[in-house]
Structure 1
Amino acid sequence: MSSISTANHWLWNFVVAMVTPVAVNTIGWQYYIVFAVISACIPVTVYFLFPETMGRNLEEIDMMFKDAPSVFSAVKFAKTRPIAMPQEYSSKDEKADHVESGSNA
């Protein structure tokens, strides 16, 4: 996947490098509106299509994508799944109570 990602990155850099001089010569400064529109679309795309994975382990993330009915419903599906918090992420108060009770973990 890393090689595919790198090849895709280089391909689009090549396309931008080839198209930009022609576009600037034909439509001038208005070509930058294209970049502004694309940049404005990125946060919307991330919000609606990228599920939040913070606090989840790799197995939960894998299940979240496998169990989602479709690619477009992965975000909604991720919001309804509970987040399993491991013991090391517990609050300090819970750890202090655990130590004071005399149990060893």
Structure 2
Amino acid sequence: MPAQHFSTRASAALRLGRHTGVRAEHTIANDRISGFPTVEAQIASVVLQRQLSGSENATMTFTERQLGATGSLTRSHVLTLGWSRQVMPGVHFEVKAGPRLSNDGTAGPEVWL
């Protein structure tokens, strides 16, 4: 068995008003590579999004991640605030940042560009 990858993703969205919406997502992934431990991941997120203009959005996202490899499990909780802009058709810029707390008690920054 050289390599196997399985993943599934589900999401649901709800409009809360003309410019505001909420979205929930859940992803499960499993990777197997011959000679390496199996890696499993589950990621669940809830995103509150507000349209600021025709090309800009603001988001607040809460994410829980659970990553496991044979015999070990890491869980983290992340709260990010984000801003995105559609620069031109096909070009999108997004930045998100916030704190991450892991099950081992460590805290650190989470930054996405």
TM-score band w.r.t. shorter chain: under 0.3
> Greater helix percent: which structure?
1
For CA contacts below 8 A with separation 6 or more, give which structure has more relative contact order: 1
TM-score normalized by the length of structure 1: 0.20
**Highest CA radius of gyration, 1 or 2?**
1
Tell me which protein shows more strand as a share of its residues. 2
Please report the TM-score for the alignment, with normalisation by the length of structure 2.
Answer: 0.19
